[in-house]
Amino acid sequence: MMAGIWAVIPAAGRGTRFGGEVPKQYLRVGGQLLLEHTLAALFAHDAVLGAVLAISANDPDWPGWTSFAGRPLLTCTGGATRAESVLAGLNALPDDVRADDFVLVHDAARPNLALADLAQLLERGRNDPVGAILAAPVRDTLKRAGDDGGIDGTEPRERLWRAFTPQLFRRLHLQRALEGAAGAGIEVTDEAMAMERQGLRPLLIEGAEDNFKITTPADLARFEFVLAQRGR
Ligand code: C5P
């Protein structure tokens, strides 16, 4: 059997880009909270032993769950940035998660993670000395905009990838890397970026393109469509 692994889920965003009163992870879609769909996708893999959710202080929307799919759910208070929330989550992992154990970090707002992709990440990523992330190659032509909105040029896209989650790194290593970035005043937008700053080269693992993050109402409509397709 595959070794077990814990997950850290940053879920302390207030969803300002989305607008509205309820943070996106607590929106209802297909009769469940968006967060429930995300947890279900993650816990679909038997190796996932439990998760720590970083939530907002005095979060009025948090349903107070203590377990999911028969496995423990812990919570901690997140921070002002995603990276701070992930750091808080790492600190709140149970003591029996060792310093060199791999952990998964997965966005609360990324509900459409395929089990096959998670399995790939766990199998191949845990053989990498640094760790790995799910990602997909850029398919569109990329333009660099000038200040006036005109096109300054076209960027080669051959080696460009879109970074998704889950991302897989060792507990203490990731903690040190995130603390290092914070200490240098650099806001990292994913975990891999914190590792890259240390000269390390996490592995890119190609996953499905539709492992999207819910950011806009259009993304939510897209996920509703995905759910409707699943139900057929
Ligand atoms: O804001 P963005 O879409 O990048 O958020 C990605 C994930 O990070 C979301 O699940 C969000 O709840 C979480 N987050 C957080 N703490 C913050 C900001 C975002 O846990 N301060």
Angle between helices 82-91 and 171-183 (to 10 degrees): 140
Domain count, the chain: 1
The confidence score (pLDDT) of residue 21 equals 75
pLDDT of 18 higher than 80: no
> Which among 82, 110, 164, 223 is the best mutation to test ligand 1's pocket, defined by most ligand atoms within 8 Å of the CB?
82
pLDDT cut 90: percent of the chain above it: 93
- pLDDT, tens digit (0-9, with 9 covering 90-100), for 142-174: 999 999 999 999 999 999 999 999 999 999 999
Cα(55) to centroid of ligand 1, in Å? 9
Rg (CA), the chain: 18
- Ligand 1 pocket, residues with Cβ under 6 angstroms: 10-13, 25, 54, 78-82, 85, 107-109, 213, 215
Whether 9 is in a domain gets the answer: yes
Q: What is the CATH number of the domain that holds 78?
A: 3.90.550.10
Question: What is the spatial distance between Cα 96 and Cα 69, in angstroms, rounded to a whole number?
Answer: 20
* Among candidate residues 101, 86, 3, 114, the one with its CA nearest the CA of residue 49: 3
Mean pLDDT value across residues 87-91: 98
Mean pLDDT, residues 120-133: 97
| Dist. CA 152 → ligand 1 center (Å) | 32
Query: Where residue 139 falls among pLDDT bands split at 50, 70, 90?
Result: very high
Domain carrying residue 101: 5-142+152-230
Instruction: Check residue 135 and report its DSSP letter.
Output: E
Is 191 contained in some domain?
yes
Q: Give the pLDDT score at 74.
A: 98
Query: What does the mean pLDDT of the chain come to?
Result: 95
Mean pLDDT of 180-206: 98
Ligand 1 test: best mutation among 16, 106, 107, most atoms within 8 Å of CB?
A: 107
Name the band, by pLDDT with cuts 50, 70 and 90, for residue 17. low
The closest-lying atom of ligand 1 relative to the alpha carbon of residue 108 is 10
Using the mean position of ligand 1's atoms as its centre, give its distance from the Cα of residue 228 in Å. 26
User: Would 147 be classed as within a structural domain?
Assistant: no
- pTM metric for this prediction: 0.96
**Could you read off the pLDDT of 44-63 as tens digits, one per residue?**
999 999 999 999 999 999 99
- Ligand 1 center–CA 116 separation, angstroms: 24
Return the residue whose CA atom lies nearest to atom 1 of ligand 1. 13
Q: Please give the average per-residue pLDDT across 107-134, as a whole number.
A: 98
The angle formed by the CA atoms of residues 174, 178 and 182, to the nearest 5 degrees, is 170
